[in-house]
Amino acid sequence: MPVEPRTFLRTLFDAAVLAADPAGLLPGRLPECPAGRTIVVGAGKAAARMALALENDWQGHLDGLVVTRYGHGEPCKRIEVMEAAHPLPDAAGREATSRILELVGGLSPDDLVICVLSGGGSALLELPAAGITLDDIRVVGRALLRSGASISEINCVRKHLSRVKGGRLAVAAHPARVVTYLISDVPGDEPSTIASGPTVPDPTTFDDGLATLERYGIREPAAVLRHLRLGAATDRREAGRDVVTETPKPGDPSFARDEVVTLATAHVSIDAAARLAEAAGVDPLVIGYDLEGEARAVGLTHAQLARACSLGTGPVRAPCVLLSGGETTVTVTSRGRGGRNTEYLLGLAVGLAGEAGVSALAADTDGIDGTEENAGAFVTPDTLVRAAVAGLDPAGALSANDAYGFFAALGDLLVVGPTRTNVNDFRAILVQGR
């Protein structure tokens, strides 16, 4: 039984991150060297780490380019690493994407493209479709991120505003064979959603993207709406000369020789944490690997479960740890600071109401929760008492979407720096009992 809850919870988090480290996942899983060239491309918060692991395990010639978030680079020797902005794209990402398209153009059937993708790739691998500007992408992206839309809904829109997403990168590389390695940050681990699926067929349509914007009341930029409407037009005569082509679909011959390998998922990381807890004499209960929903609401629900376990009426008895992964959402209505993990924790703290013997950690496995420098934060039995002493209002912080400010004032933020992997949220609630 752990003596210090924060140390124990941090140990579980570290085990989850280590289980998703590309350095231990790629070696021994690479394809044979082709008769022709080998080009490595990719994008995401783990892309540079994946490229380095690939480089160290590849025996033949290779070159290429991957793009990762600022501060997430690695010292690769044969594969160029560029850094760009996340969660909204910038000119550096656009330049990197343009160069990636050039690298995969004009290849032969004897050539091999190895694509490494992870969470964050949607923002980092960005080249807007004709008639769409980078500012347009940023405006609609910001609105979607604040709307509470799911990642699959957001990426559906992204795919239909891009020259590379939704399978278009693989089509550009054809007739070369494309082998894609994925580290999944999305619930369900669907390859067409991870990094907006640039190398796999896209089952979604322009109609789906347009419906998403309508569902969340997003009515600008005008260029984005016009583009989606042109793509959704059933009568192409309505579009005149501005015909917009749909993303490639399942069954497209461009993908016939391609392969997709998923290296890490939330399952891998959460199971690693569960094994560590069990070895320490703490009974693990996995609530779910791919939970979605409004962050604060999920936190309140988990608080009820934790209190039941503390009282001895839950599905497991103390000492136990409740583990979960996935990607919650935050509907932003104010100007506070914070990400979905801190908002989840604030909802959890309110729901626990100071329950004795219950502590929690929630953090993003990439090391960054939202746009701040913290991965997440801690909740302890005295969180609300310390908040009252400090003059903090938990309900007010939730209303202002300012969970970051709340936990920062208490000194309860978890700061680990970039982990260079990403299997999304990690949540652990330790119940030691009354």
| pLDDT, position 405 | 92
Q: Are the C-beta atoms of residues 330 and 339 closer than 8 Å to each other?
A: yes
- In CATH terms, the superfamily for domain 5-14+266-431 is MOFRL domain (3.40.1480.10)
For the stretch 283-287, contacts whose Cβ atoms lie closer than 8 Å and that sit 24 or more positions apart, written own/partner, are 283/316, 283/317, 283/319, 283/320, 283/321, 284/320, 284/321, 284/323, 285/309, 285/315, 285/316, 285/320, 285/321, 285/322, 285/323, 286/323, 286/324, 287/322, 287/323, 287/324
Q: Are the C-beta atoms of residues 277 and 239 closer than 8 Å to each other?
A: no
Q: Are the C-beta atoms of residues 111 and 38 closer than 8 Å to each other?
A: yes
d(CA 405, CA 393): 11
Residue with tokens 């461009």: 254
| Residue range(s) in the chain whose domain bears CATH number 3.40.1480.10 | 5-14+266-431
| pLDDT, position 236 | 46
| pLDDT, position 247 | 93
202 closest CA partner among 251, 154, 244, 243: 251
| pLDDT, position 3 | 64
Per-residue pLDDT of the chain (434 residues; tens, 9 = 90+): 556 999 999 999 999 999 999 999 998 899 999 999 999 999 999 999 999 999 999 988 899 999 999 999 999 999 999 999 998 999 999 999 999 999 999 999 999 999 999 989 999 999 999 999 999 999 999 999 888 888 899 999 999 999 999 999 999 999 999 999 999 988 888 999 999 999 999 999 999 999 999 999 999 899 999 999 988 875 444 444 556 789 999 999 999 999 999 999 999 999 999 999 999 999 999 999 988 889 999 999 999 999 999 999 989 989 999 999 988 877 877 676 768 899 999 999 999 999 999 999 999 999 988 777 899 999 999 999 999 999 999 999 988 888 999 999 999 999 999 999 989 899 999 999 77
| Domain over 23-264 is classified CATH 3.40.1110.10 | no
pTM over 0.85: yes
| pLDDT, position 39 | 97
| Residue range(s) in the chain whose domain bears CATH number 3.40.50.10180 | 23-264
d(CA 106, CA 72): 30
| pLDDT, position 139 | 95
| pLDDT, position 237 | 44
